[in-house]
Structure 1
Amino acid sequence: MAKSEQELPEGFRQLRTQVAGHTFEESNAEAVGLLQDSKAGCVLKPLGKPECGERELRFYESLAAAAASGDNDLALLRDHVPRFYGPLKLVVNRRERSFLRLEDLTRGMRQPCVMDVKMGKRTWDPASSPNKRKLEEAKYVLCKQKLGLCLPGFQVYLPNEEHPKETTILRHGKDYGKSLNVEGFKQTMALFFNASTSDSKSRRAGTEVLLNEVLRQLQEILAWFHRQRLLHFYASSLLICYDYSRLGNPPTSQSLLNGHRLNEDDPATWVRVRMIDFAHVYPAEQALPDENYMFGLQSLIEVVQSILHR
């Protein structure tokens, strides 16, 4: 079944900004990717394998419950994950399937740049079989062991070299990510942030605002991990999204006067870094910190800092 022939409920479509994860496949009618409900501003993520889907659903429900119960650590995490709007059943390709309704992190972006970065040297969870562990250890070896980072996919808008006022879209998937060594990863990150393609003073200023805002959000997530002793996250990713169209319109110095941003100029309105993919979240063993995730997160912060200060 061709991707264009998918039988979807009225009002839903395939998520055009999906860069990683399970997708609709032409040769497999059972394969289901992310859907978008553009009117509601939601992304619908299929639950997948029963045990993984249930674990991810329970994770989102636990965050919702934490706000009511006063569990401060979990409640604070809600700021760093997409908003959760509950589960939903839909008939896709004549079969009922279960989905999670999540915030569309690219909503309102005219030219959304999106990157999925998988975190940690170890991407297999405590319940994994020896064979699963072996398979995971063989993936993304060049970057994963040195940086604790993998790059499953991204899309980015770039200036068109022949027509500077126009843009082109570059998309790469997991095969590209698996080929990267450490230097290649760093170069790809600079490319994604348009740090090596800024062709005007205003766009260079916008890239600086972008990098600083990404760092701010990454450091807030790292601060949460330093504090929490509840959970360990395996095979979880960070989704980095920004609107390329805003690079040429960074906040003015006046809008940042005394450290207070005017709302329309707040970079957080067009730069979003969120944790995603929680099918392999487990209680922290012996209440230890999640060193595996933090190693990757610290590496990512250092990479972004090196792009900002080069």
Structure 2
Amino acid sequence: MAKSDQELPEGFRQLKTQVAGHTFEESNAEAVGLLQDSKAGCVLKPLGKPECGERELRFYESLAEAGASGDNDLLALLRGHVPRFYGPLKLVVNRRERTFLRLEDLTRSYAKPCVMDVKMGKRTWDPESSPNKRKVEEAKYVMCKQKLGLCLPGFQVYLPKEEHTQETTILRHGKDYGKSLNVEGFKQTMALFFNASTSDSKSRRAGCELLLKEVLRQLQEILAWFQRQRLLHFYASSLLICYDYSRLADPPKPLINGYHQNDDDPATWVRVKMIDFAHVYPAEQGLPDENYMFGLQSLIEVVQSILHR
């Protein structure tokens, strides 16, 4: 079955900006990727294996309930760093009923969406993993994962076709590219993704600087949350970094007092959100999630190095 021949419910289509995770496969009707409901502004993520899918659904539901009774204020704070959750939905895809999570479409308003999935932590296997699963996970992305606590399952980025031109081309890479990266290659790829190497015009350089500063601000907010929380440990979870390339050449201008007007707020075209919660567990012995924070601090350092080079 060709990807274009997938049997999807009316009003839904495959998500074009999906860069990682399970996808639709031409040779396997059982393989289902992310869907998009553009009318409702939602992305639909299929639940994975029963135990993983239920765990991820419970996580989103616990976030939705947090703070309602004054409890779990830390969980309520986390909601701002996670795509909005609109509940589960059953759909028939390829003649089989499946359950999906309805999530906010982070790039819905973007003219030229650049998207990167960065998996966090040296350890990507959860406490219930079999010895074989641990071995498989530890063999993936070894060069970057052990030194940075980061790996790169996939990304897409718009790049200028030539210097001093408005024409663009799209570069897409998946997990095979990410697995080939060493530390220096990872840093170079991050600079490429942020268009830090292609900012030839003054306005695009200004836009790139604003982009990097906004990414850093959001990363540091997520780190501040992790430094406080002792509730959960996140395994094989990712950060999704998104921005609209079309805003790079026309960055919002700061006001005299240093604030942006609402329409010019970089948070409207730059988003860093936590995703993938199939392997979230209660914190062991009430300890901080050092594994996730190690990767997060590495990512902050990489982005800072690009900004200040």
Interval containing the TM-score (normalised by the shorter chain): over 0.9
Partner SS, residue 246 of structure 2: helix
- State the partner residue of 1:198: 199
Q: Does 1:26 align with 2:55?
A: no
Deviation at 1:170, TM superposition (A): 0.1
Partner SS, residue 102 of structure 1: strand
C-alpha separation between the residues in 1 aligned to 2:147 and 2:41?
37
Partner SS, residue 176 of structure 2: helix
C-alpha separation between the residues in 2 aligned to 1:69 and 1:282?
23
- State the partner residue of 1:45: 45
- State the partner residue of 2:283: 284
Partner SS, residue 150 of structure 1: strand
Deviations 1:44-103 (A, max 9, x none): 000010000000000000001103122210000000000000000000000000000000
Q: Does 1:165 align with 2:166?
A: yes
Deviation at 1:162, TM superposition (A): 7.1
C-alpha separation between the residues in 1 aligned to 2:100 and 2:10?
16
Q: Structure 2 regions of 5+ residues with no counterpart?
A: none
Deviations 1:111-158 (A, max 9, x none): 000000000000000000000000000000010000000000000000
- State the partner residue of 2:263: 264
Deviation at 1:205, TM superposition (A): 0.2
C-alpha separation between the residues in 1 aligned to 2:41 and 2:167?
27
C-alpha separation between the residues in 2 aligned to 1:191 and 1:174?
17
Deviation at 1:258, TM superposition (A): 2.0
Deviations 1:210-248 (A, max 9, x none): 000000000000000000000000000000000000001
Superposed, 1:90-109 pairs within 5 Å as: 90-109=91-110
C-alpha separation between the residues in 2 aligned to 1:270 and 1:300?
20
Partner SS, residue 185 of structure 1: helix
Partner SS, residue 117 of structure 1: strand
Quick one: which amino acid aligns to residue 286 of structure 1? Q
C-alpha separation between the residues in 1 aligned to 2:277 and 2:69?
21
Quick one: which amino acid aligns to residue 80 of structure 2? D
Question: 2:254, 2:260 within 8 Å by CA — same for their partners in 1?
Answer: no
> What RMSD in Å do the two structures reach over aligned CA positions?
0.8
C-alpha separation between the residues in 1 aligned to 2:163 and 2:26?
34
Deviation at 1:259, TM superposition (A): 3.3
- State the partner residue of 2:306: 307
TM-score norm. by structure 1 comes to: 0.98
C-alpha separation between the residues in 2 aligned to 1:32 and 1:163?
41
Deviation at 1:253, TM superposition (A): 3.4
- State the partner residue of 2:16: 16
Quick one: which amino acid aligns to residue 75 of structure 1? A
Quick one: which amino acid aligns to residue 268 of structure 1? A
- State the partner residue of 1:115: 116
Superposed, 1:79-90 pairs within 5 Å as: 79-90=80-91
- State the partner residue of 1:138: 139
C-alpha separation between the residues in 1 aligned to 2:164 and 2:46?
40
C-alpha separation between the residues in 2 aligned to 1:18 and 1:144?
22
Q: Structure 1 regions of 5+ residues with no counterpart?
A: none
Deviation at 1:176, TM superposition (A): 0.1
C-alpha separation between the residues in 1 aligned to 2:77 and 2:39?
28
Q: Does 1:298 align with 2:294?
A: no
Question: 2:253, 2:260 within 8 Å by CA — same for their partners in 1?
Answer: no
